[in-house]
Amino acid sequence: MRENGQEAWQRNFGYLLLRPWRISSLFALAFYFFGPLQRASPLDLSTTTEAVPGLGSTEGPLPITRESSEFQKAQSLLRVDWLNLDCDLQVDTYYDSNIFGRFRDLVGDFVTRVNGGFLLGLGDTREKKRTYLSLLAAPGGVLYWDHGDLDYFNRSVLLNGAWITEKLRFELSGGYQKYLLGVQDLSTFAVAPLPVVALPEVLRLVTTHAEYMPIMVRTTYDITPRIRLDWDGAYEIYNFDSGIPDVKKERIGGGVLYQAFAKTQIGIYGRAGVLHQVANPQQDWQTVGGRIVYQYGPKTSLTAGGGVAFLATTGGVQKTIGVFSLGCRYVPTEKILLDFRGYRDFDPSLLFGSQDFIVTGGEIRLGWKLSERWMASVYGIAQELSYFTTNRSLPLLTAQARVFGAWPELAYSFEDRYKLRVFIRWSQFEIPAVVEDWQGGVSVEVFF
């Protein structure tokens, strides 16, 4: 299946932005190693639109499209010689100005992050437009030059596959990850909602070995050329030590999307989920709402979704909040892409039971292909986190926090096997004390 130049650079360039800045919970760590579990590249115009707010439903409806007859014939082919093996090694070396995530008495250090692994695939594992099955194994580690006691190592295994026909797409993912959730993670992923009632000193005390085991399913089915059904579900297990209660999350949801006009799709959706945490009351939530996808022109697409979320804790209080998601993607030329997303959503804390956050914010990405080998990108985020609890045994606090972040990056690819990146990461977390962190360094990635 050939792709044009624009699709190729967007697909490859998207990996530059697949970083944990986007996730608003401890799942950021899982996303860093299990990116394909959640979504495809954010710079791929064929990925899902983000018009379905509600926990665990950041992926919106797939736009209804008709494939060529040539592609439909190719979908039925699954030859044994489609077997392929891809290997990857990435080494990042950077300086971190605040390795303990403090708001005073900052300590900096040089850090080296090593991630490697292999992907064994059967079928269309690269384009993922036809049936495929893949196995990913990705060990890695983080080494501190002057603070060796903070070093940690992790390992990840992911089985991912999809059965694709003319009308049906069924995706199934499952995996296992073991890592150390330590001070560096909470500092680096400062955009993740942390308990805003906990002062920055608490951040460096939360160091725990963790295991993450997800199973995720997603299905889309075209009933007619104008009507599409989509359904998704997940079962996730988080095991912590250091006295932190283990967590189990379950969610299910779905909806329908209708091609009302040539450029407009409208639909409705519903979501429901449960969070079980040892020694804490069970949390339940449901979300209902509507969504719309509008193709303004060949260069611009707009998405919007909104609804109501109902949250409750067993034996506790109930809370109703409004949620929404707005998106705009603009591709003025084959070399430039601008992507914006605004949202209001909620997120239960995995570390602290019955404590939740309303997250309101926006994200923007700018990608620019300077030449055949040079690519530049800028990513920015701003969020406001409002803390609340539905547990009657906890004080009803109304604390707030603000998060800001920016990540400019310049990448150079050569010989189709090597990629060199120079990056700067800046994050600021106000609670209301300000925790600021600067990181700057280089990254080398080798493909085999």
pLDDT tens column, 158-206: 999 999 999 999 999 999 988 776 433 333 333 333 333 333 333 344 5
Mean pLDDT on 357-363: 90
CB-count burial class (<10 Å; 0-12, 13-18, 19+) for 81 = exposed
Q: What pLDDT shows up at residue 419?
A: 93
Least trusted range by pLDDT, from 51-55, 170-174, 333-337? 51-55
- CA separation for the pair 215, 280 (Å, rounded): 23
Which residue carries 């120079």 as its tokens?
Answer: 422
> pLDDT category, 119, cuts 50, 70, 90?
confident
Of the two residues 131 and 424, the one the predictor is more confident about is: 424
Residue range 218-232, pLDDT digits in tens: 999 999 999 999 999
The structural domain count of the chain equals: 1
Is residue 62 pLDDT above 80, yes or no? no
Mean pLDDT on 364-376: 94
Is residue 68 pLDDT above 50, yes or no? no
Sign for the CA dihedral angle at 99, 115, 129, 253 comes to negative
- CA separation for the pair 145, 412 (Å, rounded): 27
Is residue 305 pLDDT above 90, yes or no? yes
| CATH number, domain with residue 225 | 2.40.160
Q: What pLDDT shows up at residue 434?
A: 80
Do 92 and 441 touch, CB atoms closer than 8 A? Answer: yes
Q: What pLDDT shows up at residue 350?
A: 59
> pLDDT category, 336, cuts 50, 70, 90?
very high
Q: What pLDDT shows up at residue 104?
A: 77
Q: What pLDDT shows up at residue 257?
A: 95
Least trusted range by pLDDT, from 8-17, 221-230, 279-288? 8-17
Reported residue count of the chain is: 448
Contacts of 134 (CB under 8 A, 6+ apart): 119, 120, 121, 122, 125, 159, 160, 161
Domain encompassing residue 120: 5-447
Q: Is 77 helix (H, G, I), strand (E, B) or coil?
A: coil
Q: What pLDDT shows up at residue 349?
A: 64
Q: What pLDDT shows up at residue 351?
A: 56
Chain-centroid distance of CA 431 in Å reads 24
Least trusted range by pLDDT, from 277-286, 323-332, 365-374? 277-286
Highest mean pLDDT among 257-271, 315-329, 353-367: 257-271
Is residue 18 pLDDT above 50, yes or no? no
Is residue 46 pLDDT above 70, yes or no? no
Share of the chain above pLDDT 70, in %: 70
